[in-house]
A and B are shown apart, each in its own frame.
Chain A
């Protein structure tokens, strides 16, 4: 993973990662780490998401900031959607 600590806060998160990951989660990840602390769960997640957007309010990564629309590009985008056809979709309720 690209998780090199860059700030004291991230360093703290990395240290916590090494001691608090639950055993079952450790198995899921295939990592050799011991410890258990539910309260620190968020820290672990944060450690894996080291970029500026990881701490945004909902949603986690998606940032919906308005940007100026170019009419030509919008038309091309709509035509491109038409050119690739309807998106595949699972039957409802699966």
Chain B
């Protein structure tokens, strides 16, 4: 299996069009990953390289204690000193293993000392426990392993043991742990090492599935698909074959290999579980849409389908012109009880997109109800509140003047407000009452946005829309108050963004490698030190701190992609550094290390360019809203000054 993978990767890497720096980012990274994996495979098959090495594992077999800090001394020297994050500790506590590294321990007897700090819950309160153990460990020939095993003693107390062995099953769990922690490159490296300890285990479908998942997570789609395809036809349980077929079909769809996707989904026995059947139905529909068979696609998907997959099917249906079916799917996700953070995020997004789609369809009342379903505090909440306000106004318009001609000159939301005001000259008391109620409803939704960060466009728009509506209502004083506040905040933001832009030109704002090395994948509060915690806009004279943009920038998709690329390069570098120690691979390994270093520079420059574009875009939008706010206030003052 491992040799097959090495062959495949070498073949892919040698035929990669991106062996030089001229290729696109994705191609260059793919080439680096393929070369790194191939070199790692070759170096692992050379036992001479490991004459002085030993694999070290932490085997966590105690469900009541969570690891906090681990220190290991080998022959009196500190070798390992590591603090565990919450997510990492939780995963280990569930029975995982952790690959600690390759220690410089040749065959012979060695003194190993371990100190493990743990946390346990006693009567609902966290209790710290420190375990210490020392042993004289005899190590034999390669492949050598050393396990630090945390178990439970006869009285239920946590117990440490040091053993001179590492089992293949433990390495498999360590690979799963690395993958769960967002380190697919490390997971692949562990799976390759596992072949040295338990060659037979590499034929196990669990190993193949895990290898496929790790390759997929590392962005090597073709190699991952190859792994899953192998399993879908091999000897594996129904559940494993079904998972492999679904994964392979999804990868094939992503690569626009529609015939291959069809083959994976055409399973004569069709022994899907209910959950797998739901996913298969969704993939079949997406395949039909990709094949242009729009009329054959159906919005009827089984209940067990994951919300994110339903969402993607809804998007594909909307894009293919099946708007009603797509909207029905969004409505279904939007009403579901979410069980985890991802499901909540998908539900909020579905409600937001559906709300704006309904607004476009002039179904304002329905849109308002859908916007109300977006969770408070979610990233979509600001845009939902903005939409909520527009829905209140649009509902009024629906019964007033349904045909608004786009004159092409005014922003359409201004046209819409104007159209509502026209024809409501106050003679019809009932309609005037309805108008005032709708406007108050809109202002109520928008007013909440005033407490939020003006760097968000929805906040900027609400800050401008409120005084415009109030001005049109003749509530000049309130309009001016709102308008002046908008001007002060937007003016400060514009000046602040300009300062940040100038600073970014003089020197890099974000060190991608530093940030990615600090915590990747992102961990709770790990980037807090780089972001502003001050609601600067509430000051009497607002001034934007130089880190005000960081929260928005660090959660932006493109920034995350570049930070992830830095993490991939770090993982690839770790693999290649090992290979560089083999005399017959050192030349190629050192060349690859040079490419990795050069790629880091390219990634940093890409991030710098993206930050400039991002700041420029936000500066432009802020300027436009600022001008609108000034015009609104200026117009009202001008009106007041008339005799």
Contacts and interface: CB of A to CB of B under 8 A. Distances in A.
Contact of B346 (A28, A61, A69): A69
Interface in B447-461: 450-453, 457-458, 461
B345 A45 contact: no
24 contacts: A1-B627, A22-B639, A24-B641, A28-B630, A41-B635, A42-B414, A45-B631, A46-B410, A55-B406, A55-B412, A61-B461, A64-B387, A66-B326, A66-B357, A77-B345, A79-B521, A80-B560, A82-B523, A83-B523, A85-B528, A87-B551, A88-B536, A90-B450, A91-B538
A57 B453 contact: no
B453 A46 contact: no
B247 to A, nearest CB: 12
A87 B352 contact: no
Interface string B322-334: 0000100010000
Contacts of B630: 25, 28-29
B447 to A, nearest CB: 9
A38 to B, nearest CB: 7
Interface centre among B406, B458, B522, B530 (most CB of A within 10 A): B522
Given A62-B458, A89-B451, A77 B312 contact: no
Nearest to A1: B623
Contacts of A90: 450-452, 535, 537-538
Given A58-B387, A66-B353, 16 more contacts: A9-B409, A23-B638, A25-B638, A45-B411, A45-B627, A48-B624, A56-B412, A58-B359, A58-B416, A60-B461, A64-B352, A64-B356, A74-B342, A83-B522, A90-B452, A92-B451
A59 B458 contact: yes
A26 interface: yes
Interface residues of B, number: 90
B519 interface: yes
Contact of A69 (B308, B406, B451, B487): B308
B620 interface: yes
Nearest to B355: A64
Contacts of B342: 71, 74-75, 78
Nearest to B418: A42
A80 to B, nearest CB: 4
A42 B413 CA distance: 10
B446 to A, nearest CB: 11
B451 A38 contact: no
Contact of B634 (A13, A28, A69, A77): A28
The residue among A13, A68, A78, A83 with the most chain B CB atoms within 10 A of its own CB is A83
Interface of B: 217, 308, 311-312, 314-316, 318, 326, 330, 341-342, 345-346, 349, 352-353, 355-357, 359-360, 379, 383, 386-387, 390, 393-394, 406-416, 418, 450-453, 457-458, 461, 487, 519, 521-528, 530-538, 550-551, 554-555, 557, 560-561, 564, 620-621, 623-624, 627-628, 630-631, 633-635, 637-639, 641
B415 A42 contact: yes
Contacts of A73: 557, 560-561
A84 to B, nearest CB: 5
A46 B411 contact: yes
Interface of A: 1-2, 9, 13, 21-29, 36, 38, 41-46, 48-49, 54-62, 64-69, 71-85, 87-94
B527 A60 contact: no
Nearest to B312: A68
Contacts of A56: 411-413
Contact of A57 (B408, B416, B638): B416
A75 B634 CA distance: 46
9 interchain residue pairs of minimum CB distance: A25-B634, A42-B410, A22-B638, A83-B522, A58-B390, A64-B356, A24-B638, A24-B637, A58-B413
A93 B444 CA distance: 11
Contacts of B557: 73, 77
A73 B342 CA distance: 11
Contacts of B633: 24-25, 28
A56 B390 CA distance: 13
Contacts of B534: 88
A71 B410 CA distance: 38
A31 B537 CA distance: 27
Given A27-B634, A49-B624, A80-B560, A59 B555 contact: no
B638 A48 contact: no
A56 B413 CA distance: 7
B453 A80 contact: no
Given A42-B410, A74-B346, A90-B535, A61 B555 contact: no
B461 A62 contact: yes
A10 to B, nearest CB: 9
